[in-house]
Amino acid sequence: MAERYIGLMSGTSLDGVDAVLVRFDEAGTLAVEADAFVPFADALRDAVLALQPVGGNELARAAMLANTLSRHYAEAVAAVLDRAGVPSSAVTAVGCHGQTVRHAPQDGYTLQIVNGALLAERCGIDVGCDFRSRDIAAGGQGAPLVPAFHHECFAHPSVARAIVNIGGIANLTRLTPGQTVTGFDSGPGNMLMDAWCRRHTGRPYDANGAWAASGSVDAALFARFAAEPYFAAPLPKSTGRDLFDLAWLDAHLAHHPHAAPADVQATLLELTATSIADAVRQHAPATRELYLCGGGALNGALVRRLATLLPEATVGDTALLGLPVHQVEAAAFAWLARRLVHRLSGNLPAVTGAAGNRVLGALYPR
């Protein structure tokens, strides 16, 4: 029978919570019935960032932050239900990604902050969360998890496609007919550009890439960025703010103290575009259709640069395939929640490197 799930996603861009209400028919085909967005205040964003490096009193700070975030998640659930005119009793479960504050698969853990019990209490709906830990327990990276969802929703039987989610980090999914689905984090998406824009303009992001377009790429600085070993690392691999943060950027800029801020922004955009294009050419060379999602899909300068770097592929966004760019990741966690409820695997071992297929997530009953 048909079921409804809510997916919640707050990513590395730290702008807020995306919520979608998804209806799955008996065959498992999904349709988004409503979406909502609850922004993060600067104080909440700063609290998340403060937990990224090692610091004092981490246990109490993390627990309190989990409670604060969970109240925001509950607000997003209420907003999307109100928008759809659907009661909470009509929803089977909520799938919540939580907020990543540490990602260290090499050390056997990843940490997404959320209080699943509090969220279930606030919403009156079963809650699934902690989707990444089981994959890591099985020897995987725990990320990215969205390629399985991309394959379910976007694969074509005869056309080689790639899906690139450009959030704080960019990740690529290869959907080439007759080949195993692969996916990985290609490197920074919006994260460094947003941080640099906030530092120098006070704005949370560079709307449409206009500030980057006003500058010029600094070739020497770009070469220093591009020499980061992560880009040449073999698959499987995943990354996050643990590597690509302002400290990483400042360490490189120390060698280029006179670089103009707009030129740095242009160079960061070039890094995102080039690392994505290189990932496509190396790992998905047959790609003829490239579909973008996430906030970076709305950066016109970045999209145009990708189209220039990948002339053999048609570059569009996932709205052309039925899911607007801001809905894709949240919908993926609604899909993962359904997989959890039905005890179906949610990972792709070829993507994460896990020892096998695993049911992902922990379920908190309402």
Which amino acid appears at position 33 of this protein? Answer: E
CA angle in degrees (0–180, nearest 5) for 173-249-56: 95
Alpha carbon dihedral 112, 117, 121, 125, in 10-degree steps, equals 70
276, exposed or middle or buried, with CB in 10 Å at 0-12, 13-18, 19+?
buried
Query: Contact at 8 Å (CB) between 175 and 318?
Result: no
DSSP summary character for residue 260: -
Residue ranges of the annotated binding site for ATP are 11-18
Q: CB-based contacts of 176: which residues, under 8 Å, 6+ apart? A: 160, 161, 284, 286, 287
Cis before 144 (ω within 30):
yes
Residue ranges of the annotated binding site are 11-18
Tokens of 113: 């902050």
